[in-house]
Structures are given as C-alpha cells and as structure tokens.
Structure 1
Amino acid sequence: MVNDILISVGSNIDRTKHIRAARTALESIFAEVQWSRVYESEAVGFNGSRFYNLVVKACTELSIEQVCQRLKAIERENGRKHGEKKFCSRTLDLDLLTYNHVITMQPVVLPREEILFNAFVLQPLAELVPEEVHPVARQTYRQLWCDFDKSSQQLWPILFNWSSS
C-alpha cells in the first residue's frame, strides 16, 4: 500500500549543506517527492542561529516505524547526535508530520503536534498542501495558516540554491 507522508526538514548548522543532503537522501528513499520553498526563521525555544526549514510531501510503502527509522538514520549520517536536549542547534532535523490521516501516539505522535504551533512548519505546509485537512483540527493547512498569529514567530522565504556547484 502506498502511503502519503509529510516531513519537516530543518537545519541551523551548516544549513545549506545539510538541506541539500536531506534532499538527496529523501529522494533516494521516497517516491513522488515534492518540496515547499525554503524558509529562514529564528530559533524557537532557545537562543541559537537561524534555521532553514521546509516541508516535504512524499509517497512510501514503508510503515510509520520504518519511516521514522530512516529519518533518524539520515540525521545521524549528517552528524546529528540523538539524546541532545529538545531545544538546541542541529545539523539536520527530520520529523514525520503526518502519515496518511493516521492519528496515533505510537510509535510516534501523529499528526505531529508542532504543526499547529510552529510557523516554520505550518507556513510551508500551507504552501505545499493548502487544501489538505489536518487530521485532528479538521481544517485545511491554508485555513490554519490564515488563522495563525503571525506576529508570534518570524520567518521568510529565501532563494535557495539546490545546486552544489
């Protein structure tokens, strides 16, 4: 069975290198990969360098657990050390946001709660999949973004050079 997934991607250490590496890795594992624009945002929850963030839509036959294992492996391959405190700088952060319209607590919380609270997740979702409906809030990502308090978190789209040459 083919499953639709949404993944958030973020980095604030050697950002360009790690966002490019994420693209290469994700496109080698998943099918029909689509990308939002890349956004730059302030660190949320701690004092740190600005992040690059985006959201990816893809298809997979992997289970939720297998997807999460692959995402953690990509993070480790890019120098991410797991066991770090929740709010800290990172080379690469890949989080499964949704898996079809599954609502679950195990093996991870889906849909990921940060969708509703972090502009750096919600704005790229509203851009990439504006008419998709959040499984719990029962509103489209476009509507959720329209209703979001945009004064609470600043982010802006950037012109990102995907080519390493």
Structure 2
Amino acid sequence: MAKIYISLGSNIEPARYLKAALIDLDCHFDKLVLSSVYESEAVGFDGTNFLNMVVAAETELSIEDVVARFKQIEQDHGRVVGAKKFAARTLDLDLLLYDDVVCEAPIVLPRAEILYNAFVLWPLAEIAPELSHPVAQESYLHLWKQYEKSQQKLWPIEFNWSA
C-alpha cells in the first residue's frame, strides 16, 4: 500500500464540493486522515475565497490510476475539462505525494506547490508534521515554520461536516 497526500480545493459552493469529494475519496481509498479546513484568497486570479485541505490516504493504485481517479471525481462534480488553470472551480484534487517517489512522469512528484502555497503546506504540516519532503529533506513542520507567511492570507475555519 502506498501512502498518498491529496490537496483538495474549491471556491464554487466549496462546502458542498469538499464534502462530496471526501465521500468519493472514502469509497476509493483507505485510511483517510483529514487536515483542518482552511480558507484562503484566490491565488493567480481575482476570485472568491477558496476552502482547502489536505487528506492522507492509502492505496494500491499506481500513480497514473490515482491521478485518473482524481480527474474522474473532479468531472463527476462539475469540473470542466480543459478549463483555464487560474479560474474558479467546483473541485480541484491534486496528488501531492506518493510515498517518497520523486518523478517527472506521469506527473511531477512531489508536487511543487507544496513548497510555495500556504494552502497546501500548512494543512500538510498539520497531518504529517514529521514527514520529510523527499527533495528538500526537511520536515513539513519545519518547512511551515520557515515559510514567509505574509505571502498568502490563509486561516483555519470551523467546518460543519454534517449534511
């Protein structure tokens, strides 16, 4: 079983789509561990605030199959195929880590935004504080403590998981 870390984000009906994504992830992956939910300003475009979180899970799927599953979940919840990168979205699922694999294909791992997006690094440091980034060779907690927090506005929120 591989240990994976997934970034989830939404700024279109975000509470609805985060909940829906977690239901789907729970159906396809094992032993989910959830970070807190964080609200952040849109990065790269003017838009409404996002809700973000990171989820750890276990899987026997290959990297390619995990990414394909994420794309299907996104599409099942209204994500438009081929939509521009910096735009509002119902759901964004990104594979951050697959064990300690470092690769360029089928996708780049570890995902680069771990090191430069607060909405990825903070929740990752929350659920895997002692885990080391496979390239930077620093723990996620240490990376978060060193992060220049004035770069992006981000704050944890109370999140009601009930329907």
Stretches of 4+ moved more than 4 A in 1?
A: none
Q: Deviations over 1:61-98 (max 9, x none)?
A: 00000000000000000000121111110000000000
Segments of 5+ residues of structure 1 without an aligned counterpart are none
Aligned partner of 2:109 in structure 1 is 110
* CA distance in structure 2 between the aligned counterparts of 1:86 and 1:15, rounded to whole angstroms: 17
* CA distance in structure 2 between the aligned counterparts of 1:140 and 1:80, rounded to whole angstroms: 33
- Is 1:44 aligned to residue 43 of structure 2? yes
Q: CA deviation at 1:153?
A: 0.3
Q: How does 1:5-154 map to 2 (within 5 A)?
A: 5-154=4-153
Q: Tell me the number of residue pairs that the alignment of Structure 1 and Structure 2 aligns.
A: 163
Q: Which amino acid aligns with 1:50?
A: N
* CA distance in structure 2 between the aligned counterparts of 1:129 and 1:44, rounded to whole angstroms: 24
- Length-normalised TM-score, structure 1: 0.98
* CA distance in structure 2 between the aligned counterparts of 1:137 and 1:86, rounded to whole angstroms: 26
Q: Deviations over 1:14-59 (max 9, x none)?
A: 1110000011000000001000000000000100000000000000
**Alignment root-mean-square deviation, CA:** 0.4
SS of residue matched to 1:94: strand
* CA distance in structure 2 between the aligned counterparts of 1:150 and 1:82, rounded to whole angstroms: 32
* CA distance in structure 2 between the aligned counterparts of 1:157 and 1:27, rounded to whole angstroms: 23
- Length-normalised TM-score, structure 2: 0.99
Segments of 5+ residues of structure 2 without an aligned counterpart are none
* CA distance in structure 1 between the aligned counterparts of 2:12 and 2:67, rounded to whole angstroms: 22
Identity, in percent, stands at 56
Q: Deviations over 1:87-130 (max 9, x none)?
A: 11000000000000000010100000000000000000110100
